[in-house]
């Protein structure tokens, strides 16, 4: 719980601060007096007044923020300060001030991705481990051990690339080309995959598996690395370096087989034959009962010796400063196009609204990415920054995009949209945003 809370505070706090700083910085450059710069909503827990009179506030609820500017529409303004009001600035200055928030998020994403590139990017090559029957990929001649090189014309050098390309194919109909490399061959082969409204209306948990492929993994021998003290295996006499040969007379050739047998035998006594040095021993194991999703599973309290990966499948690339910025810009562009495309498909009904996520899911992903390491957490923050920028540019009143829509109309008509129409639009926009938030939070709770 503490990790979840800290992860979401760090992620959202930085993104919101950078977004609002974009508004704040451009407003100051345009000569607008900023009354308050707030990160979060609700009761302030920290307040500071700067030399220019701006109040900097940190509030209780870190799910947003705002920059309050001097504006004649919100109250009387002394004549001496009238030239510092937001509403008296030209329409192009107001457009720049409003657009600066989302642009700041895109800049932040570029910087984060560039920093990740400078650290060095390590990935696992997309070598095929298994292909599901009657799946999209089973339409090709790809075999176990082949390496994917491109999907639908997009190069893929890692499973992360594969996942990103597949996300863009949701709802698609037609034929796509999958290129792959057979080990020992110097040329690439191609296969055609026909899609028909692929995953339309579904909520896929794993796009790679939905496409019909499982990543290749080295064989995991059933050799014990650690025995949990006080656990079922510890009581049965298991030791580190023991190799499990048989369980109830069945030969165990992989660790996964051991896991499956143990999990299927909660509270049942199992006869286990192990190899210890040059001697074999018969041990009696009674797995403890552990509940997961309402189902009783057996638990032994054993850790396996991690397998050795083929070093040729581990790809690592380091970037110089210029290359890193280029990489950051390209990754940000890919995420922007993917997010915009996903929103469009959701409006068309090709992507289910069940995919909408709220603060609970964001907190869980933030925590999981933090556990996975610095680079994973930074990539999550970059994607979240892109999402925040894109969503704020949607032409919905109350969002930055809604303000830009009205200012755009004003620039064309040479006169502002009436306050009555704007007021009605803001009420509709508020209702829509609250409805979307309610759906997102409902989905969060359903996933729990």
The bridge status of strand 243-247 relative to strand 250-251 is antiparallel
User: Which pair of tokens denotes residue 321?
Assistant: 């400063």
Q: How many CB atoms lie within 10 A of CB 416?
A: 16
pLDDT by residue (tens digit) across 171-196? 889 999 999 999 888 889 999 999 99
Residue in this structure with the two tokens 């006869």, named with its chain if needed:
271
pTM value is: 0.78
Helix (H) or strand (E) run with residue 151 in it: strand 147-151
Catalytic residue among 20, 183, 185, 229: 20
Stretch 266-273: mean pLDDT: 94
DSSP 54: P
Torsion from C-alpha of 435, 437, 439, 441, nearest 10 degrees: -150
Confidence check: pLDDT of 293 > 90: no
Active site residue 20: yes
Of 343, 365, 367, nearest in space to 355 by CA? 343
User: Which pair of tokens denotes residue 234?
Assistant: 């510890």
Confidence check: pLDDT of 372 > 90: no
Coil/strand/helix, residue 272: strand
DSSP 242: -
Contacts of 171 (CB under 8 A, 6+ apart): 197, 198, 199, 200, 345, 348, 350, 351
365 band by pLDDT with thresholds 50, 70 and 90: low
Coil/strand/helix, residue 349: coil
Helical residues (DSSP H) of 237-373, grouped into ranges: 255-263, 321-348, 359-372
Name the percent of the chain lying above pLDDT 90: 49
Confidence check: pLDDT of 107 > 70: yes
Q: Per 3-state DSSP, what percentage of the chain is helix, strand, and coil (rounded to 5)? A: 45, 25, 30
Domains present along the chain, CATH in parentheses: 121-217+308-317 (2.30.42.10), 224-304 (2.30.42.10)
- Give residue 26's pLDDT: 96
Contact 215, 127 (CB under 8 A): yes
DSSP string, 297-310: EEE--EEEPPPPPP
366 band by pLDDT with thresholds 50, 70 and 90: low
Query: Which residues, in sequence order, are bridge partners of residue 265?
Result: none
Confidence check: pLDDT of 374 > 90: no
- Give residue 315's pLDDT: 82
pLDDT by residue (tens digit) across 113-148? 999 999 988 888 999 988 999 899 999 999 999 999
362 band by pLDDT with thresholds 50, 70 and 90: low
- Give residue 427's pLDDT: 86
DSSP 223: B
DSSP string, 32-98: PPEEEEEEEEEEEEEEEE-TTSPEEEEEEEEEEEEEEE--GGGS---GGGGGG-STTS-HHHHHHHH
309/49: higher pLDDT: 49
Confidence check: pLDDT of 388 > 70: yes
Confidence check: pLDDT of 306 > 80: yes
- Give residue 442's pLDDT: 73
- Give residue 443's pLDDT: 67
What is the C-alpha to C-alpha distance for residues 298 and 289, in angstroms, rounded to an integer? 5
Name the percent of the chain lying above pLDDT 70: 92
Contact 61, 380 (CB under 8 A): no
What is the C-alpha to C-alpha distance for residues 372 and 148, in angstroms, rounded to an integer? 25
């Amino acid at each position: 719980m503490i990790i979840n809370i800290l992860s979401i505070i760090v992620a959202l706090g930085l993104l919101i601060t950078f977004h609002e700083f974009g508004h704040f910085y451009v407003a100051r450059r345009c000569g607008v007096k900023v009354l308050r710069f707030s990160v979060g909503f609700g009761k302030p827990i920290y307040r500071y007044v700067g030399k220019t009179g701006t109040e900097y506030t940190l509030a209780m609820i870190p799910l947003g923020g705002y920059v309050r500017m001097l504006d004649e529409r919100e109250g009387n303004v002394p004549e001496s300060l009238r030239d510092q009001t937001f509403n008296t600035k030209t329409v192009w200055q107001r457009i720049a001030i409003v657009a600066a928030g989302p642009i700041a998020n895109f800049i932040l994403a570029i910087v984060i991705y560039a920093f990740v590139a400078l650290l060095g990017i390590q990935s696992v090559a997309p070598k095929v481990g298994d292909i599901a029957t009657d799946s999209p990929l089973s339409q090709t001649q790809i075999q176990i051990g082949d390496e994917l090189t491109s999907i639908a014309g997009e190069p893929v050098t890692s499973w992360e690339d594969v996942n990103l390309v597949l996300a863009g194919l949701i709802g698609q109909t037609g034929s796509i080309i999958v290129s792959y490399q057979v080990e020992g061959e110097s040329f690439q082969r191609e296969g055609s995959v026909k899609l028909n409204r692929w995953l339309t209306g579904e909520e896929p948990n794993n796009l790679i598996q939905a496409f019909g492929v499982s990543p290749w993994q080295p064989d995991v021998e059933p050799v014990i690395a650690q025995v949990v003290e006080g656990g079922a295996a510890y009581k049965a006499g298991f030791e580190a370096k023991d190799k499990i040969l048989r369980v109830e007379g069945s030969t165990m050739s992989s660790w996964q087989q051991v896991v499956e047998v143990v999990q299927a035998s909660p509270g049942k006594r199992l006869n286990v034959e192990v190899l210890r040095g040059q001697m074999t021993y018969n041990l009696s194991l009674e797995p403890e009962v552990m509940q997961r999703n309402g189902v009783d599973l057996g638990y032994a309290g054993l850790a396996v010796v991690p397998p050795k990966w083929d070093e040729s499948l581990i790809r690592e690339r380091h970037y110089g400063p210029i290359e890193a910025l280029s990489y950051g810009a390209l990754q940000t562009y890919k995420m922007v196009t993917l997010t915009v495309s996903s929103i469009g498909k959701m409006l068309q009904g090709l992507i289910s609204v069940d995919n909408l996520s709220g603060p609970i899911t964001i907190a869980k992903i933030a925590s999981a990415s933090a556990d996975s390491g610095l680079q994973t957490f930074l990539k999550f923050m970059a994607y979240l920054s892109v999402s925040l920028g894109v969503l704020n540019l949607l032409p919905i009143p109350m969002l930055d995009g809604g303000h830009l829509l009205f200012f755009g109309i004003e620039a064309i008509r040479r006169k502002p949209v009436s306050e009555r129409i704007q007021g009605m639009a803001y009420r509709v926009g508020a209702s829509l945003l609250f409805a979307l938030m309610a759906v997102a939070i409902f989905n969060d709770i359903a996933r729990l």
